[in-house]
Amino acid sequence: MFFLKAHIQPNQVPTRRSHKKRLLKILTSRLFIVGVLILVQLFLLLFLLVKVGTMRYWISIVFNVVSILMVLYILTREDNPSFKISWIIVIMAVPLIGGVFYLIFGRKMHGRRMARQIESYTDALLHKDHGSLPQCSGNCQTLERLRENHYTLARQADYIYNVSGFELYQNTEAEYFPSGEQFFARLLEELRGAQKFILLEYFIVQHGKMWDSILKILENKRAHGVEVRILYDDVGCVATLPALYADYLRQKGFQVGVFNPFRPRLNAATNYRDHRKICVIDGNVGFTGGINLADEYINQKEKYGHWKDTAVLLRGEAVQSLTEMFLELWQFTCHESLSLSDFLPTRSHSCAGFVQPYGDSPLDNFNLAENVYMQILNHAKNYVYITTPYLILDNEMINALCLAAQSGIDVRIITPHVPDKWYVHMVTRSHYSQLLRAGIRIFEYTPGFIHAKMFVSDDSTAIVGTTNVDFRSFYLHFECGVAFYLSPMVSKVKEDFLRTQNICEEITLEKERAVKAPIRILRSLLRAFAPLM
Q: Regarding predicted confidence, which is higher, 445 or 336?
A: 445
Is residue 18 pLDDT above 80, yes or no?
no
pLDDT class for 127, splitting at 50, 70, 90? low
Q: How many helices (H) and strands (E) does the chain have?
A: 20, 18
Indicate whether 435 pLDDT > 50.
yes
Mapped onto helix, strand or coil, the DSSP state of residue 296 is: helix
The predicted structure's pLDDT at residue 313: 98
pLDDT at residue 3, rounded to an integer: 34
Query: 3-state DSSP call for residue 415?
Result: strand
Q: Quick: pLDDT tens for 259-277.
A: 988 876 666 677 889 999 9
347 pLDDT more than 70: yes
From-to residues of CATH 3.30.870.10 in the chain: 111-135+170-352, 368-532
pLDDT tens for 487-508 read 999 999 999 999 999 999 999 9
The stretch 345-367 carries a mean pLDDT of 89
Q: Higher pLDDT residue, 479 or 341?
A: 479
Give the orientation angle of helix 517-528 with respect to helix 422-430, to 10 degrees.
100
Q: Which residue has the higher pLDDT, 50 or 172?
A: 172
Mean pLDDT, residues 317-326: 96
- pLDDT recorded at residue 5: 37
Enter the pTM of the model.
0.85
CATH fold, domain 111-135+170-352, is Endonuclease; Chain A (3.30.870)
Pairing, β 383-387 against β 454-457: antiparallel
Tell me the CATH number of domain 368-532, given options 3.40.640.10, 3.30.870.10, 3.10.20.30, 3.90.180.10. 3.30.870.10
pLDDT digits (tens, 9 = 90+) for 46-55: 666 666 656 6
**What does the pLDDT look like over 77-116, one tens digit per residue?**
767 777 777 778 877 777 766 766 776 666 665 566 777 7
Strand spans (E) along 276-432: 278-281, 285-289, 306-308, 311-316, 354-360, 383-387, 410-416
Q: Which residues on adjacent β-strands are paired with residue 314?
A: 174, 286
Pairwise pLDDT comparison (269 vs 511), residue with the higher score:
511
- What do you get for the CA distance between the two ends of the chain, in Å? 35
Is it the case that residue 403 has pLDDT exceeding 70? yes
Highest mean pLDDT out of 24-28, 87-91, 110-114, 133-137: 87-91
pLDDT per residue as tens digits for the range 292-308: 999 999 999 998 999 99
Percent of the chain with pLDDT over 90: 62
For the chain, give the mean pLDDT.
Answer: 86
For residues 59 and 71, what is the distance between their CA atoms, to the nearest angstrom? 18
516 near 440, Cβ under 8 Å? no
CA 221, CA 121: separation in Å to the nearest integer? Answer: 28
Q: What is the dihedral of CA 413, 418, 421, 426, to 10 degrees?
A: 60
Which of 41-45, 230-234, 382-386 has the lowest average pLDDT?
41-45
Q: What is the mean pLDDT of residues 157-185?
A: 95
> Looking at the DSSP assignment, which residues form a beta bridge with residue 233?
259
Q: What does the alpha-carbon distance between residue 77 and residue 333 come to, in Å, rounded to a whole number? A: 30
